Amino acid sequence: MKDCKDPSLSSKLDETWKKAYDEGRFHLLDGILYHRTKHTCVMALTDRTLINTILHECHDSVAAGHLSEDRTLERVKTCSWWPKWKKDVAEYCQTCDRCQKANRATGKKFGMMIQIQEPKSPWEIVHMDWVTALPPGGDRSYNACLVLVDRYSKTPMFLPCHKDDTAMDTGIMIWNISHTGLFQNIICDRDPKFTSAL
Condensed to tens digits (0 to 9), the pLDDT of residues 18-51 reads: 666 656 677 777 777 777 777 778 888 878 898 8
**Structural domain span for residue 68:** 2-101
pLDDT of residue 61: 79
Condensed to tens digits (0 to 9), the pLDDT of residues 109-166 reads: 666 777 888 899 988 898 988 888 889 988 888 999 989 999 999 999 998 988 888 8
Condensed to tens digits (0 to 9), the pLDDT of residues 60-88 reads: 877 777 888 888 899 988 888 888 889 99
Task: Name residues whose C-beta falls within 8 Å of residue 145's C-beta, 6 or more positions apart in sequence.
Answer: 130, 131, 134, 158, 159, 160, 161
In CATH, what number is assigned to the domain containing residue 159? Answer: 3.30.420.10
pLDDT of residue 88: 92
Indicate whether 69 belongs to any domain: yes
Residue 13 and residue 11: Cα distance in Å, rounded? 6
Total number of domains in the chain: 2
Q: DSSP class of residue 127?
A: E
